[in-house]
Amino acid sequence: MSPLRVGLAGCGRLAEIAYLPALVSLSGLSLVAVADPDAGRRELAVGLALRLGEKRPTAYRETGEMLERAALDGLVLATPAVAHPADAAAAAEAGVAALVEKPPAADAEGAQRIASLAPAAWIGFNRRFGPLAGMRDRLMPGEHTDLHLELQYRRESWGSVTVRDDALIDLAPHLADLALWLAAATPVEVRTVWLTPRRARLELKTTNGRALIACATDRPHRERAEAFAADGRRLWSWRTGGLAHNALARLRRGEHGLVASIRAQLAAYEAVLRGGSPGALARASDGLEAMRVVDAARESWGRGGAVVSLAAAVGTGA
């Protein structure tokens, strides 16, 4: 089969480290265009694509211009979250089902706009394609499951180009989606235990149990996930990162650790573009559920840590 023609909107740090290397490594996808308002970032993306063996992609300043002038089968949106609803809508108007990097939008209202598009957009919750994918199969659908999920990193070490989101919008969507996806559950209510610009801790009640979610943007990289049965038995535990692990990772050469999960996610995106099964690829409705949790968590903190029902969460239209 001929490679599908893909555009990449947003040439920031994630595109540089993960999306560009992953895209050019897949024979079924061809990066034909990039877009970014920053000329330097556009040039860097084009140069990196060439160094990785891709043909020169055409560079555009705006996502809309790329959609108008480039013949695309798919579009990866790695732009800031506030731009996602408009960019995804422009892609849908052009007949392209976009893959929208997380968070899908700045709030549930924006995520709802994306969920209403046709053709349907998809959401880049890449941790569905990491080591936890196998852990999901070890949980019994419908049975009570309690999850402890943690994700932290030092934002300064990441080197983000423009995004300065707080920890809740930066990391909690990943963990909210993981909690709902791993347990095959839907959200019921949220209570925020702690919230600052750099740290967030919340309790999420689901139709299948509870999830304790903790995230931080001012600590060394570490990820942890544990699952417990109703009687307290630990079903499984997984973790990565920590000071020793991070020090060894810096000494190793090769692709960044994110590339593997992004590559698998892009392969699933290619499959749906060709009419196949999405596998673990997140739907726009999944992105909406995650952002409903985030909005409810922010409302909970504003109300002194009160429990917020997802039926009445801010921005859901419920």
Quick one: 278 and 290 in the same domain?
Answer: no
Q: Which residue has the tokens 């959609």?
A: 67
Distance, C-alpha 139 to centroid of its chain: 22
Quick one: 172 and 289 in the same domain?
Answer: yes
Residue 300 lies in a domain: yes
In whole angstroms, give the CA distance from residue 293 to residue 315. Answer: 11
Which of 226, 8, 18, 3 lies closest to 132, judged by CA? 226
* Contact (Cβ atoms closer than 8 angstroms) between residue 221 and residue 152: yes
Residue 317 lies in a domain: no
Report which of residues 253 and 246 the model is more confident about. 253
Q: Is the dihedral of CA 110, 115, 116, 117 positive or negative?
A: positive
Domain count of the fold of the chain: 2
Residue 149 lies in a domain: yes
Task: Tell whether the model's pLDDT for residue 9 goes beyond 80.
Answer: yes
Quick one: 146 and 53 in the same domain?
Answer: no
Confidence bin at 155 (pLDDT 50/70/90): confident
Each residue's pLDDT tens digit, 91-113:
999 999 999 999 999 999 999 99
Position 167 scores a pLDDT of 95
Quick one: 115 and 215 in the same domain?
Answer: no
In whole angstroms, give the CA distance from residue 191 to residue 310. Answer: 11
Quick one: 139 and 107 in the same domain?
Answer: no
Each residue's pLDDT tens digit, 172-228:
999 999 999 999 999 999 999 999 999 999 999 999 999 999 999 999 999 999 999
Question: What range does the domain containing 71 cover?
Answer: 4-127+260-282
Position 279 scores a pLDDT of 95
Each residue's pLDDT tens digit, 259-289:
999 999 999 999 999 999 999 999 999 999 9
Quick one: 246 and 151 in the same domain?
Answer: yes
Quick one: 277 and 300 in the same domain?
Answer: no
Across the beta sheet with 209-216, what order do the strands follow? 234-241, 218-228, 145-154, 209-216, 199-206, 187-195, 308-309
143-152, 239-248, 295-304: least confidently modelled range: 239-248
Position 242 scores a pLDDT of 67
Quick one: 272 and 236 in the same domain?
Answer: no
Confidence bin at 316 (pLDDT 50/70/90): very low
Quick one: 115 and 145 in the same domain?
Answer: no
Each residue's pLDDT tens digit, 75-85:
999 999 999 99
Rounded to two decimals, the pTM is 0.92
Quick one: 80 and 220 in the same domain?
Answer: no
Position 248 scores a pLDDT of 54
Quick one: 162 and 297 in the same domain?
Answer: yes
Position 276 scores a pLDDT of 97
Share of the chain above pLDDT 70, in %: 92
Position 161 scores a pLDDT of 60
* Contact (Cβ atoms closer than 8 angstroms) between residue 241 and residue 222: yes
155-159, 169-173, 261-265: least confidently modelled range: 155-159
Report the CATH number at residue 147.
Answer: 3.30.360.10
Task: Tell whether the model's pLDDT for residue 315 goes beyond 70.
Answer: no
**Could you tell me how many helices (H) and strands (E) the chain has, helices first?**
13, 14
Question: Under 8 Å CB-to-CB from 233, ≥6 apart: which residues?
Answer: none
Position 313 scores a pLDDT of 55
